[in-house]
């Protein structure tokens, strides 16, 4: 009798173990399908000195200080003629108004698209300015001279599909 009762308890323990293992495996499998592992956060690389200069220009745009932006561009681009500057200023003013009518209000968001070193002395930094229904790519080219990084040129393009094709 001792043998039969002992084997009944042993059998119950084995069955409980099998059921527990099976149930644990099923729950583990189901949870692995439901819970996705967190993606590692990739920190943005530190800003290059060239990008820091461009971010100073972007901060003027972000704050809506268009007149200050234009003055800073004039100051930064030492080799621009008065006629070239007048043309730049007019195109800039016209485009700022046109973008609002085309895309709606500015969101105030600017997204770094690319910070490219073209050579040790030349870099291109591209930002996306976001609007309610579209965006504008801002292209800045900066040059490293003996006094540090200096603006060589700035342009913009609201045709994102076409402009993004040329962004390596």
Comparing 40 with 108, the larger pLDDT belongs to 108
Residue of 161, 134, 64, 61 lying closest to 73 (CA atoms): 61
Domain boundaries, the chain: 1-42, 49-165
Would the pLDDT of 165 be above 70? no
For 34-38, 71-75, 116-120, 152-156, which range has the lowest pLDDT when averaged over its residues?
Answer: 34-38
* Mean pLDDT in residue range 17-35: 77
Each residue's pLDDT tens digit, 108-163: 999 999 898 889 999 999 999 999 999 999 999 999 989 889 999 999 988 877 66
Tell me which architecture the domain covering 49-165 has in CATH.
Roll (3.10)
Q: Is the dihedral of CA 105, 139, 168, 144 positive or negative?
A: negative
- The pLDDT tens digits for 84-102 are 999 999 999 999 999 999 9
Higher-scoring residue by pLDDT: 88, 167: 88
Q: Across the beta sheet with 122-131, what order do the strands follow? A: 106-119, 122-131, 134-145, 148-157
pLDDT confidence tier of residue 1, bands split at 50, 70 and 90: very low
Across 47-68, average pLDDT: 92
User: What pLDDT is attached to residue 163?
Assistant: 66
Q: Given a cut of 80, is residue 7 above it in pLDDT?
A: no
Query: Is 78 a residue whose pLDDT tops 80?
Result: no
Q: How confident is the model at residue 27 (pLDDT cuts 50, 70, 90)?
A: confident
pLDDT, position 112: 93
User: Would you say 151 and 53 are in contact if contact means Cβ atoms under 8 Å apart?
Assistant: yes
């Amino acid at each position: 009798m001792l043998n039969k009762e002992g084997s009944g308890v042993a059998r119950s323990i084995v069955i409980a173990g099998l059921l527990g293992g099976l149930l644990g495996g099923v729950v583990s499998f189901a949870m692995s399908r439901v819970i996705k592992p967190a993606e590692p956060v990739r920190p943005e690389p530190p800003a290059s000195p060239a990008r820091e200069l461009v971010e100073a220009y972007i901060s003027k745009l972000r704050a809506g200080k268009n007149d200050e932006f234009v003055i800073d561009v004039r100051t930064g681009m030492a080799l621009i003629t008065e006629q070239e500057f007048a043309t730049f200023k007019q195109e800039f003013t016209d485009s700022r108004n046109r973008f609002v009518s085309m895309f709606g209000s500015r969101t105030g968001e600017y997204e770094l698209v690319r910070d490219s070193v073209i050579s040790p002395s030349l870099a291109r930094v591209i930002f996306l300015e976001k609007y309610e229904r579209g965006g504008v790519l801002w292209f800045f080219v900066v040059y490293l001279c003996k006094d540090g990084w200096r603006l060589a040129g700035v342009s913009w393009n609201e045709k994102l599909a076409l402009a993004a094709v040329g962004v390596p």
